Amino acid sequence: MANANNPLRELHKFGQSFWYDSLSRDMIANGDLKRMVEDDGLRGITSNPTIFQQAIASSSLYDETIEREGRKGKNKEEIFDVIAQKDIQDACDILRPVYDASHGTDGFISLEENPHIAHDVKMSISEGYRLKELVNRPNLLVKVPATPAGIAATRELLVNGVSVNNTLMFSLDNYDAVAETYISAMEERAKRGLPLDEIASVASMFVSRIDSNIDGRIDGMLKTERDEVRRKELQVLRGKVAIANGKLCYLHYKQFFHSARFKGLEEKGARPQRVLTASTSTKDPNFPDTYYVDALIAPETVVTMAPATVPAFRDHGTPGNTMDQGVDAAMEAFRLAEKVGIDLNKTMQELQDDGVGKFIASYDDLLQAIEKKRKALVTA
């Protein structure tokens, strides 16, 4: 039975939707996913190649599918399509009541495009259409990375009826490009007389990876820095930039989506493209395990939590409208980063490149795991 004082459920009172950053067949089959919807107020799911890779490689959940499809002569890519299609469709169906009750605001499942095409506009467009057709559910979000090619593809997909989760976003400039693309796509749909209320989108701002990178640099600088004032500045900055980035991103969100320009589209049925905070698990043991989630709660936003963060927040998370607080301090953190010689734009670009690289590695490992099992099972 749902606990009325469950902090996960309480997030919704502050206008934030809780989504789960994991998906596997066992949580669909054993009822865990349905329970999270009912007890924890779960309102969506994000998946990515790493999540699928872990589920396929570390369990026998998918062996039957791999063997069956392998015996039909399907290759590893085709087998992955069958696996992803079933899991995503089943998850979409479990979350469908949330989608319906929220009139298409929540209840979404995200499925990532092949990360190998992150820098190819044409391939990203055709893959977006293909995944929409493959899953064939209204509550699917196609995950497209916020690379220049991904953003160009996103506009085309949104205009033509594909709902998108722009992922691997780090910098504020990157966010601005994503938000501008969404609004201009809605303007194009309005111009063509197409319905605006059929499209949903989120802009996924990655959080903890920023601090992991910058704090690592700070620790390196502290090893050689002898000036006490500089040392203090570096120490003050530790664990501050990721949250500052999230707060400033929300400020930009309001400038885009609380504007007269967007209000005109909203009156025609357009939904705001919500900011989604991703990568919210704490990597540094010096910080609380709900550090990032607690600090970035606001109306019209989404938070995804990984499996380790969910029980922690359920147990001792502190819901409240925190994203709007400390904006001046966030701006100060950015100024301080510049002062101590950390190039934030360069860092954020490196993080995005690294993120694409990690998803490519996971995707390749995922296909390799399927191929290894296919060979073993089909020749057994």
**Total domain count, the chain:** 1
Structure confidence by residue, pLDDT tens digits, 316-341:
999 999 999 999 999 999 999 999 99
Q: What is the pLDDT of residue 5?
A: 87
143 is catalytic: yes
Q: What is the pLDDT of residue 380?
A: 73
| 240 pLDDT higher than 70 | yes
Residue 230 forms part of a structural domain: no
Please give the mean pLDDT across all residues of the chain. 96
CA 333, CA 247: separation in Å to the nearest integer? 11
Give the domain extent around 66.
7-206+240-323+351-379
Structure confidence by residue, pLDDT tens digits, 9-26:
999 999 999 999 999 999
| 76 pLDDT higher than 70 | yes
Neighbouring residues of 108: CB distance < 8 A, sequence distance ≥ 6 = 19, 44, 45, 95, 99, 139, 140, 141, 163, 165, 200, 202
| 1 pLDDT higher than 70 | no
| 310 pLDDT higher than 80 | yes
Q: Averaged over 69-76, what is the pLDDT?
A: 97
Question: Taking a C-beta distance cutoff of 8 angstroms, is the pair 265, 190 a contact?
Answer: yes
> Among residues 143, 240, 247, 373, which one is catalytic?
143
pTM, whole model, 2 decimals?
0.96
Residue 224 forms part of a structural domain: no
Contacts 24+ apart (CB under 8 A), 86-90: 86/25, 87/23, 87/24, 87/25, 87/28, 87/47, 88/23, 88/47, 88/135, 88/137, 88/140, 89/135, 89/136, 89/137, 90/28
Residue 215 forms part of a structural domain: no
| The two structure tokens encoding residue 157 | 């997909």
Residue 333 forms part of a structural domain: no
Q: What is the pLDDT of residue 66?
A: 97
pLDDT above 70 covers what percent of the chain? 99
| The two structure tokens encoding residue 222 | 């502290």
| 58 pLDDT higher than 90 | no
Q: What is the pLDDT of residue 2?
A: 53
Neighbouring residues of 89: CB distance < 8 A, sequence distance ≥ 6 = 135, 136, 137
Q: Averaged over 139-144, what is the pLDDT?
A: 98
Here the CATH number for the domain that contains residue 253 is 3.20.20.70
Q: What is the pLDDT of residue 4?
A: 65
Question: Which of 45, 35, 55 has the alpha carbon at shortest distance from 365?
Answer: 55
